[in-house]
Amino acid sequence: MPRTLQQLDYTNRFARLPGRFHSAQQPTPLPSPYLVAFNPDAAALLGLAPEAADDPVSQQVMTGNQVLPGHEPLSALYAGHQFGVYVPQLGDGRAILLGEARNERGEHWELQLKGAGETPYSRMGDGRAVLRSSIREYLCSEAMHGLGIPTTRALSIMGSDYPVYRETAETAAVVLRMSPSFIRFGSFEVFFYRNQHDAIRELADFVIDHYYPACRDAARPYQALLDQVIARTASLMADWQAVGFCHGVMNTDNMSVLGLTLDYGPFGFLDAFDPGHVCNHSDHSGRYAFDQQPNIALWNLHCFAQALIPLLDMDATIEALKRFQPLFEAAYGQRLRAKLGFAAQGDKDEELIVKLFGRLYQGQVDYTVFFRRLAGFIPGELNAPLRDLFIERETFDDWAADYAARLAQESRDPRERQAAMLRANPKYILRNHLAETAIRQAIERDYSEIERLRTLLAAPFDEQPGMDRYAALPPEWAQQISVSCSS
Ligand code: AMP
Ligand code: MG
């Protein structure tokens, strides 16, 4: 088993694409780096031994202070619609793809440094990421994976005392993140707006060959690719909505062509259920409010489809986009039924769910705590642990009667239902205040909370002894935490 990053087998397929897709870019070193976090689960995906964390050369590589012989560092070009407006040139402003490694099972993982210095696409940015947001990305990508939601992964965080200025002076950090690919909707848009249709075809062929090989056998491979991206995005939105995840910046440059959760910034999980929740303090109009996410995903898919239109048939494309909504609804319905413990679909389920969501909102009930406790619901009883979550307790009673009646329609064994519900409703999510506590300790050079949270959130559906405080309602001070695009 490789013990260091230098022993991995580098394949670098994205680097083989012609120069118009990327720019060669060496990372900029950081002074006196130190290890903040290392994730053995992500290391295992590479076939990398956990001891790589302590290897001095690997640490330099994870910081961007050293580039290995097999690496071909580059920044990718892309564009995107940001808050509804087309921005012609974005690209990796602070991300550098070191290379792509192939593990012993033949799986490929791209290794990317986030915050490793300026690139040709940095515009006014400094190419850096601060420790605070690096910890948030590292923890949330692993938390999403633990929840079973498609996402990029994170291998490590390296820190440095090098100052980085946001609203205040902070310090720099670099996350080494991993994904089969970081190609975004915006990676295609840039060539559509530049009228370079051959580049669109080249990139689409690359994506099909490496990530959607089954599309090659379809009658119309590019149409099949669009269908796949629509289906995966619909499924991802169902995952986000079901778990109460709010991305915060659903610009098309942050939308993965592989349907992964990508680019963690001002994200947040719902505390008290509020469909209009806006987690990003820079999002003044609420464009990316929680309940808007599926609509925005569809809007973004229109941008993606438009970029592919030179390869597509217009009528088939319109039909394909029309399939998003039913795909999303089917997937979301399925996840909600799992959360509610229903084995089959009932004809009044939607009504029951709409009623519940209305009451959760009115009652300012914590979304995650409610559903976790719902697993313990006993028909005909008071169910005080649930009832007490509502400001007006009676509003629960009335819904509970409907819910009990619905459960009675199924012959499912109550214990089996409870077990299934505990697998569908996480106990632990990365609430802002949990991340914030880990950040505050890390600023004081204590990194133990990051690792504690990572292992906790890797198994969010399990009861973990002694960890109940991590499943508690957010404290008062959590309301003062403000997350914005500045990271
Ligand atoms: P985001 O919405 O955070 O994914 O970022 C939008 C664009 O801004 C991307 O192209 C980023 O690479 C770029 N960007 C964000 N922060 C910085 C920074 N500190 N330095 C350079 N580019 C940045
Ligand atoms: Mg981005």
pLDDT tens per residue, range 329-357: 999 999 999 999 999 999 999 999 999 99
Total number of domains in the chain: 3
The residue type at 235: S
Q: C-alpha angle 483/452/37, rounded to 5°? A: 75
Task: Tell me the CA–centroid distance for residue 89 and ligand 1, in Å.
Answer: 11
Residue 131's nearest CA partner among 142, 119, 115, 117 is 115
Q: What is the pLDDT of residue 183?
A: 99
| Token duo for residue 372 | 């976790």
Tell me if 126 CB under 6 Å of ligand 1.
yes
Residue 309 has pLDDT above 80, yes or no: yes
Q: Quick one: average pLDDT of 419-446?
A: 98
- Does 464 fall in a domain? no
Last residue of a domain, one of 409, 424, 439: 424
Q: Return the DSSP state at 19.
A: G
Q: How far apart are CA 197 and CA 164, in angstroms?
A: 40
Last residue of a domain, one of 118, 153, 181: 181
pLDDT tens for each residue of 142-158:
999 999 999 999 999 99
Task: Tell me the CA–centroid distance for residue 92 and ligand 1, in Å.
Answer: 7
In the block, tokens 């965080």 appear at: 157
Tell me if 205 CB under 6 Å of ligand 1.
no
Residue 253's nearest CA partner among 376, 92, 409 is 92
Confidence bin at 487 (pLDDT 50/70/90): confident
Residue 373 has pLDDT above 80, yes or no: yes
- Does 382 fall in a domain? yes
What residues are labeled active site?
253
- Does 435 fall in a domain? no
Q: What is the pLDDT of residue 255?
A: 98
- Does 469 fall in a domain? no
Q: What is the pLDDT of residue 486?
A: 77
Tell me if 122 CB under 6 Å of ligand 1.
yes
Q: What is the pLDDT of residue 41?
A: 98
Q: How far apart are CA 272 and CA 211, in angstroms?
A: 38
- Does 366 fall in a domain? yes
Judgement on whether residues 194 and 242 belong to the same structural domain of the protein: yes
Nearest residue (CA) to ligand 1, atom 6: 90
Judgement on whether residues 195 and 282 belong to the same structural domain of the protein: yes
Q: Quick one: average pLDDT of 456-465?
A: 98
Ligand 1 atom showing the smallest separation from residue 78 Cα: 10
pLDDT tens for each residue of 213-269:
999 999 999 999 999 999 999 999 999 999 999 999 999 999 999 999 999 999 999
Q: How far apart are CA 5 and CA 418, in angstroms?
A: 44
Closest ligand, as measured to the CA of 266 = 1
Judgement on whether residues 349 and 244 belong to the same structural domain of the protein: no
Q: How far apart are CA 402 and CA 134, in angstroms?
A: 45
pLDDT tens for each residue of 270-296:
999 999 999 999 999 999 999 999 999
Those residues whose C-beta lies under 8 Å from the C-beta of residue 295, and which sit 6 or more positions away, are none
Q: H or E element: which one contains 367?
A: helix 367-374
Judgement on whether residues 44 and 16 belong to the same structural domain of the protein: yes
Judgement on whether residues 175 and 218 belong to the same structural domain of the protein: no
60 CB neighbour count, 10 Å cutoff:
18
Tell me if 352 CB under 6 Å of ligand 1.
no
The residue type at 234: A
The bridge status of strand 245-246 relative to strand 268-269 is antiparallel
Q: How far apart are CA 293 and CA 245, in angstroms?
A: 10
- Does 122 fall in a domain? yes
The burial of 71, by beta-carbon neighbours within 10 Å (0-12 exposed, 13-18 middle, 19 or more buried), is given as buried
C-alpha distances out from residue 40 to 49, 50, 112, 170, 397, Å? 8, 5, 17, 27, 46
Tell me if 93 CB under 6 Å of ligand 1.
yes
Q: Quick one: average pLDDT of 306-335?
A: 98
- Does 38 fall in a domain? yes
Contact 327, 235 (CB under 8 A): yes
Judgement on whether residues 369 and 266 belong to the same structural domain of the protein: no
Judgement on whether residues 272 and 391 belong to the same structural domain of the protein: no
Ligand 1 atom showing the smallest separation from residue 119 Cα: 21
Task: Tell me the CA–centroid distance for residue 244 and ligand 2, in Å.
Answer: 21
Contact 245, 149 (CB under 8 A): yes
- Does 436 fall in a domain? no
Task: Tell me the CA–centroid distance for residue 135 and ligand 1, in Å.
Answer: 17
Tell me if 136 CB under 6 Å of ligand 1.
no
pLDDT tens for each residue of 60-109:
999 999 999 999 999 999 999 999 999 998 999 999 999 999 999 999 99
Those residues whose C-beta lies under 8 Å from the C-beta of residue 123, and which sit 6 or more positions away, are 89, 90, 93
pLDDT tens for each residue of 125-142:
999 999 999 999 999 999
Alpha helices in 265-323 (DSSP H): 293-308, 314-322
Domain holding 294, by residue range, is 186-322
Judgement on whether residues 130 and 201 belong to the same structural domain of the protein: no
Could you tell which of 121, 136, 190, 296 is best to mutate to test the pocket of ligand 1, judged by most ligand atoms within 8 Å of the CB?
A: 121
Predicted structure pTM score: 0.98
Judgement on whether residues 308 and 342 belong to the same structural domain of the protein: no
Tell me if 128 CB under 6 Å of ligand 1.
yes
Task: Tell me the CA–centroid distance for residue 254 and ligand 2, in Å.
Answer: 5
Closest ligand, as measured to the CA of 254 = 2
Q: What is the mean pLDDT of the chain?
A: 97
Judgement on whether residues 273 and 354 belong to the same structural domain of the protein: no
Q: How far is CA 93 from the centre of its chain?
A: 19
Judgement on whether residues 417 and 388 belong to the same structural domain of the protein: yes
Last residue of a domain, one of 163, 181, 199: 181
Judgement on whether residues 284 and 315 belong to the same structural domain of the protein: yes
